[in-house]
């Protein structure tokens, strides 16, 4: 058996073992939360999803920069893998968040900065996957997705900041004119 | 610098010769503003309250048309390849194109203001500030828009891809420009205009610098 197949097979087995152990721990072993009850258990999967989504998209940003510097196909493949993971995890993040929000907040969606930024992220990086799908020339596809990945990644903090202001600035705040 | 001016002159000349397209884009934006009022209903208070949002949505929808058009022309007879053979810097080409698109969009924004005032009864005495908001906001649309139009004009699904890539990216521009415009129309007792203008300025600064850095890689090959 080739070495790489053994390695990736081992990773899959390890993943399944961790998934089973984590599910048992979160669903059976941990006690129910005092106020929210069993609903809170979603956090055991929601928070890691959020971390891994951020990690995957940050990884693809690093790959994008490395691709533009080295022009090596390795980085393009890693970028695609990282971005697909990041988009799938961000979509899952929104779905899990909605499942949690309905029983606790009473609504499926709230225009909270973190939620809104995640939704924008899904569309921004999902669009790059759509761009990849419609470019045949592999060299152009690699450069263009690296370029758009860098732009989208740089944009995310600005989106977060603007949504945060949008959500809070309409409440009365003190300024030299009002004090 | 010289390259930039020559490229800018070329792009402005192209837009002047294709002014029928500019007028058609304006008609599209005005039609969008008319349609938004049907979505809300003839409630003049609600229309006035949302006028800023409608103006920027109309401008955003129309902007993808004119941004895409600006590179469609470069694709005819492989004009872009010819341009890249010239001893001109890609940076100059990018800024020339982006500034021409900015001028085009700012003009469109200014032209849509009277439509907004008439349809939604949403005037403001602070015309200079409104012009500043339009200039900063359209600059934020034109820098990333020009870069993405350069890419998508060479792809299969270009009509879909440009808005798909551009809209999520310009969420900060939309938020800040809508807020600032609404503050001008509805009054700004708390003095909240400045932070939104600063946000627009920061967005412009980021995208006008990375756009030029990355454009060379986008058009090379």
Whether the CB of A175 is below 8 Å from some CB of chain B: the reply is: yes
Q: Tens digits of per-residue pLDDT, A33-64?
A: 777 777 778 888 888 899 999 999 999 999 99
Cα separation, A168 vs B207, in Å, equals: 25
Residue A78 tokens, joined: 């890693």
Q: Tens digits of per-residue pLDDT, B170-189?
A: 999 999 999 999 999 888 77
Q: Which residues pair with A37 in a beta bridge?
A: A33
User: pLDDT-based confidence at B164, cuts 50/70/90?
Assistant: very high
Whether the CB of B216 is below 8 Å from some CB of chain A: the reply is: no
The residue ranking higher by pLDDT, A166 or B104, is B104
What would the mean pLDDT of A21-26 be, rounded to a whole number? 88
CB contact under 8 Å between B214 and A151, yes or no, is yes
Mean pLDDT of chain B: 88
Output the pLDDT for position B17. 84
Dihedral over alpha carbons A6, A10, A16, A17 (to 10 degrees): 150
Output the pLDDT for position B221. 63
Q: How far is A119 from chain B (nearest CA, A)?
A: 9
What would the mean pLDDT of A163-175 be, rounded to a whole number? 62
Q: How far is A159 from chain B (nearest CA, A)?
A: 5
CB contact under 8 Å between B179 and A134, yes or no, is no
Output the pLDDT for position A174. 45
Whether the CB of B196 is below 8 Å from some CB of chain A: the reply is: yes
Residues 6+ apart with CB under 8 A from B42: none
Cα separation, A157 vs B53, in Å, equals: 23
The residue ranking higher by pLDDT, B96 or B77, is B96
- Determine how many CB atoms are found less than 10 A away from the CB of residue A24: 11
Output the pLDDT for position B166. 93
CB contact under 8 Å between B148 and A152, yes or no, is no
Kindly tell me if the per-residue pLDDT of A173 is higher than 50. Answer: no
What would the mean pLDDT of A145-161 be, rounded to a whole number? 90
User: pLDDT-based confidence at B71, cuts 50/70/90?
Assistant: confident
Q: Tens digits of per-residue pLDDT, A75-94?
A: 999 999 999 999 999 999 99
Eight-state DSSP code of residue B86: S
Output the pLDDT for position B43. 83
What would the mean pLDDT of A102-120 be, rounded to a whole number? 84
The residue ranking higher by pLDDT, B15 or B207, is B207
Cα separation, B195 vs A5, in Å, equals: 55
Residue A14 tokens, joined: 């390890």
The residue ranking higher by pLDDT, B134 or B2, is B134
Output the pLDDT for position A179. 42
Q: How far is A168 from chain B (nearest CA, A)?
A: 11
Whether the CB of B213 is below 8 Å from some CB of chain A: the reply is: no
CB contact under 8 Å between B147 and A140, yes or no, is no
Cα separation, B152 vs A127, in Å, equals: 11
* Predicted-complex ipTM score: 0.85
Q: How far is B20 from chain A (nearest CA, A)?
A: 30
């Amino acid at each position: 058996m080739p070495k790489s197949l053994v390695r990736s097979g081992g990773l899959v087995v390890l993943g399944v073992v961790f998934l089973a152990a984590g599910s048992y721990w979160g669903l059976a072993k941990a006690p129910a939360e005092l106020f929210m009850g069993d609903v809170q258990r979603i956090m055991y999967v929601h928070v890691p999803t959020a971390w891994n989504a951020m990690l995957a998209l940050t990884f693809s940003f690093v790959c994008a920069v490395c691709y533009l510097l080295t022009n090596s196909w390795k980085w393009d493949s890693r970028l695609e893998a990282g971005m697909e993971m990041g988009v799938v995890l961000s979509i899952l993040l929104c779905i899990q968040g909605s499942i949690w929000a309905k029983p606790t907040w009473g609504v499926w969606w709230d225009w909270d900065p973190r939620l809104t930024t995640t939704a924008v992220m899904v569309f921004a990086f999902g669009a790059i996957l759509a761009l990849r799908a419609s470019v045949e020339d592999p060299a152009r596809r690699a450069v263009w997705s690296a370029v758009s990945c860098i732009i989208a990644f740089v944009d995310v903090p600005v989106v977060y900041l603007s949504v945060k202001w949008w959500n809070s600035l309409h409440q009365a705040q003190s300024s030299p004119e009002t004090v | 610098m010289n390259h930039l001016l020559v490229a800018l002159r070329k792009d402005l000349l192209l837009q002047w010769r294709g002014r029928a397209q500019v007028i058609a884009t304006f008609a599209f934006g005005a039609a969008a503003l008319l349609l938004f009022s049907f979505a809300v209903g003839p409630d003049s208070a609600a229309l006035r309250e949302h006028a800023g949002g409608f103006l920027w949505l109309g401008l955003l929808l129309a902007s993808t048309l004119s941004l895409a058009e600006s590179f469609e022309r470069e694709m005819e007879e492989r004009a872009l390849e010819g341009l890249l053979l010239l001893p001109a810097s890609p940076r100059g080409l990018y800024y020339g194109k982006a500034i021409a698109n900015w001028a085009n969009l700012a003009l469109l924004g200014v032209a849509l203001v009277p439509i907004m005032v008439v349809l939604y009864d949403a005037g403001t005495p602070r015309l200079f500030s409104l012009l500043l908001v339009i200039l900063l906001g359209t600059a934020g649309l034109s820098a990333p828009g020009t870069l993405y139009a350069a890419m998508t004009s060479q792809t299969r699904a270009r009509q879909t891809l440009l808005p798909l890539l551009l809209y999520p990216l310009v969420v900060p521009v939309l938020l800040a420009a809508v807020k600032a415009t609404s503050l001008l129309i509805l009054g700004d007792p708390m003095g909240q205009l400045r932070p939104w203008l600063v946000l627009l300025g920061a967005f412009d600064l980021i995208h006008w610098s990375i756009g030029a850095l990355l454009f060379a890689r986008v058009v090379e090959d």
